[in-house]
A = this chain, B = another copy of it.
Amino acid sequence: MDTERCLVIARFQPFHYGHLNAIEYCYRNYDEVIIVVGMASQSHTPENPFTAGERLLMIRGALKWAGHDLSRYVTVTLPTLEVNRAAVHFVRQYSPPFKSVVTLNPIIQRLFMEEGYEVIPPPVKERDTYSGSAIRRMMLANDPSWKQLVPPPVAEIIERIGGVERIRMLYSERLPGYYATA
Contacts and interface: CB of A to CB of B under 8 A. Distances in A.
Interface of A: 1, 11, 38-45, 48, 51-54, 56-57, 60, 69-72, 74-90, 92-97, 105-108, 110-111, 160, 169-170, 172-182
A164 to B, nearest CB: 14
B39 A177 contact: yes
A105 B178 contact: no
A140 B80 CA distance: 28
Contacts of A175: 83, 87, 105, 107-108, 111, 182
Contacts of A96: 53-54, 56-57, 60
Question: How many copies of the chain does the oligomer comprise?
Answer: 6
B182 A179 contact: yes
Nearest to A38: B176
Contact of A176 (B57, B110, B180): B180
5 contacts: A1-B57, A53-B94, A83-B175, A85-B89, A87-B177
Nearest to A115: B89
A83 B43 contact: yes
Given A175-B107, A175-B182, A90 B86 contact: yes
